[in-house]
Amino acid sequence: MTKKRIDPGPFILPMPVVLVGAMVEGRANFMTAAFVGIVNFQPPIVACGLSPTHHTAKGIEANRVFSLNLPSPEQVAATDYCGIASGAKQDKSEIFELFAGELAAAPMIRSCHLTAECRLVHSVPFQVDTVYFGEILHVHVDDEAMSGGSPDWRRLDPLLFTFPDKGYWRLGAYVAEAWKVGRTFRP
């Protein structure tokens, strides 16, 4: 199989789409982000790559907390809007029904099946984005999105993002059980 070298880019796909929430100047604000990933197991640490010029980033830096809200494909239009409209110019606090957990400055979206409250532990500026590292302190999951005491990804139906086509997707078919299927492999 022939390979073709292409320009570097964010091609570890798909990326989860999240609505990052923060209180900014006393008002809840949300921005769409896809440069998000788990970087540590215990304690659970997530990394979010956001431009520090974004309105939401100002709230993260001021309050040192933020929320992650996983939208479903049914929320794609509102989710995309939150990535297009700047919170500095548009009030995004009334787009969704909100709820608060223990971190009051980390507003969460009730209609997202899974939300998380994060405490900022570190930030690293790069040329375009700043990576905000947050410790996940609390996770909230809808009862109907659970199975056997854990989140059921088929029921959560998370929205995914691909680049450079700038496409939204939903999770595909289950393939195999991790840490088990490899036991049958023989090199």
pLDDT in tens, 5-57: 888 777 777 799 999 999 999 999 999 999 999 999 999 999 999 999 999 99
Burial degree of 178 (CB within 10 A; 0-12, 13-18, 19+): exposed
Q: Is the pLDDT of residue 152 over 80?
A: yes
pLDDT at 187: 94
Q: Averaged over 151-159, what is the pLDDT?
A: 95
pTM, entire model: 0.93
| Per-residue pLDDT reduced to its tens digit, 92-116 | 999 999 999 999 999 999 999 999 9
Architecture of domain 15-184: Roll (2.30)
Map out the domains of the chain as residue ranges: 15-184
Rounded-to-integer distance, Cα 60 and Cα 144, Å: 30
Percent of the chain at pLDDT > 70 equals 100
